[in-house]
């Protein structure tokens, strides 16, 4: 009976090492994956609010004379930049045409457990100016 136990000596240690590594990788996926999803949600909110700030740069003279709703591109881009700067971000792309403003924001997240290197997420949101009758 002692011979059987002698042959299996150390088998539990190897099994525990493999299981511990698998659990560490699963925890890394859960934690770092959650951080990436959170960064994507944050980037989406920031891009959306920046686009809304830009969509407030309505060309009032054109609206009053022709009834056409359009944005002032330079002023809209400045509003977007001011909003993003106040939060410590920059836009990777800003497009202003007609009555709409589209903003793309990138956020980089450093992983906590997984050795994958920095993860970058990108979100693009659009806001369109509208008129509302009283």
Residue range 20-37: mean pLDDT, rounded: 92
Please count the other Cβ atoms lying within 10 Å of the Cβ belonging to residue 59.
19
User: Is residue 2 over pLDDT 60?
Assistant: no
pTM of the model: 0.80
Question: Within 13 Å of residue 37, how many CA atoms lie on the same side as its CB?
Answer: 6
Residues near 20 by Cβ (< 8 Å), separated by ≥ 6? none
What is the number of other CB atoms lying within 10 angstroms of the CB of residue 36?
A: 17
pLDDT, tens only, 34-68: 999 999 999 999 999 999 999 999 999 999 999 89
The pLDDT-based confidence of 9 (bands split at 50, 70, 90) is low
- Per-residue buried b or exposed e for 72-111, using 16+ beta carbons within 10 Å of the residue's own CB: bbeebbebbbebbeeeebebeebbbeebbbbbbbbbebeb
């Amino acid at each position: 009976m002692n011979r059987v136990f002698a042959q299996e000596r150390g088998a539990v240690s190897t099994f525990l090492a493999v299981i511990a590594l698998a659990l560490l990788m699963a925890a890394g996926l859960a934690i770092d994956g959650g951080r990436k999803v959170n960064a994507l949600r944050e980037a989406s909110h920031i891009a959306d609010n920046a686009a809304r700030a830009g969509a407030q740069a309505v060309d009032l003279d054109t609206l009053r004379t022709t009834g056409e709703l359009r944005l002032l591109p330079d002023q809209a881009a400045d509003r977007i930049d001011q909003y993003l700067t106040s939060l410590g971000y920059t836009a990777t792309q800003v497009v202003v045409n007609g009555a709409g403003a589209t903003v793309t924001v990138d956020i980089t997240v450093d992983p906590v457990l997984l050795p994958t290197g920095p993860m970058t997420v990108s979100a693009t949101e659009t806001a369109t100016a509208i008129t509302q009758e009283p």
